[in-house]
Structure 1
């Protein structure tokens, strides 16, 4: 009975709990979507060809590429300054900037000013909040 009240934390793998949990939830939700829409998905293929023709390919594939690069670079850059969260900060500023530019309809110098401000202030505020207020380290 005393073992039920003991908590042991393996700090080498404890940071992987939430990413795994979120991944499992996303897989389950994806499975529900596939089961729910199985007739449309397995149909003649018209839905897929229509979707692919109408989608904004530059923004779709640009978002995929930027997100993959963002996550691949965050840990190696963070390893240069361990336990400071600078990997998150250094990668998030260009990521937010490039994603914002990708989704802008009008890329004028005047429209870029708020994007530049947000791309610096938002990640810096999140980094400060997690580092100093919550005392949590980011990659």
Structure 2
């Protein structure tokens, strides 16, 4: 039988601790997606039914380079993070190094009219943002990153 004091003890499974925040983010995204579908779904379906198929296809103009670049970069980012993280386990090096590259590559992909100033700002953002996130998670919250 458990004592009351056992409810106030925290047990950390370090093999699974890095999945805590991604799981929260996944559920927040699911809830937001459902909220969007509930609030706008009927309107989208009605508009979809009113429009002929040919017009629907022509209206679906997308920036294929950016769409498929993002859809390629993101899975590669997640797939490479763990192997890079095994170099120095439980230090967040995998997160840091892959986030630097991913942040810069994604920024470069989506920024129009790249020039030297924008490239420097993208590089600075790609270095500062993951470093701050890593510092907050690893040193303030003591959460291990891959």
Q: Which residue of 2 aligns with 1:44?
A: 49
Secondary structure of the 1:24 match is: helix
2:112 counterpart residue number = 105
Give the equivalent residue in structure 2 for 1:26.
29
Mind listing any 5+ residue stretches in structure 1 that lack a counterpart? Answer: none
TM-score relative to the length of structure 2: 0.72
SS in 1 for 2:82: helix
Question: In 2 relative to 1, CA 70–106 (structure 1 residues): closer, same or farther, beyond 3 Å?
Answer: same
Shift of 1:108: 2.1
Give the number of the structure with larger relative contact order, counting CA–CA contacts within 8 Å between residues 6 or more apart: 2
**TM-score w.r.t. structure 1 length?**
0.75
The Cα shift of 1:98 comes to: 0.8
Residues 7-44 of structure 1: CA distance to partner in whole angstroms, max 9, x if unpaired?
Answer: 45251434434333332332233233333333323632
CA distance in 1, matches of 2:22, 2:98: 19
Distance 1:36 1:89 in 2: 38
SS at match of 1:35: helix
* Partners of 2:65 and 2:127 in 1: CA distance: 24
- The 3 A distance-change label for structure 1 pair 26 and 111 is closer
In the alignment, which residue of structure 2 is the partner of 1:6? 6
Q: 1:9 to 1:49 in 2, by over 3 A?
A: farther
CA contact (8 A) 2:99 2:130 kept: yes
User: How many positions carry a matched residue from both structures?
Assistant: 138
From the superposition, tell whether residues 131 and 48 of structure 1 become closer, same or farther in structure 2 (CA, over 3 Å). Answer: farther
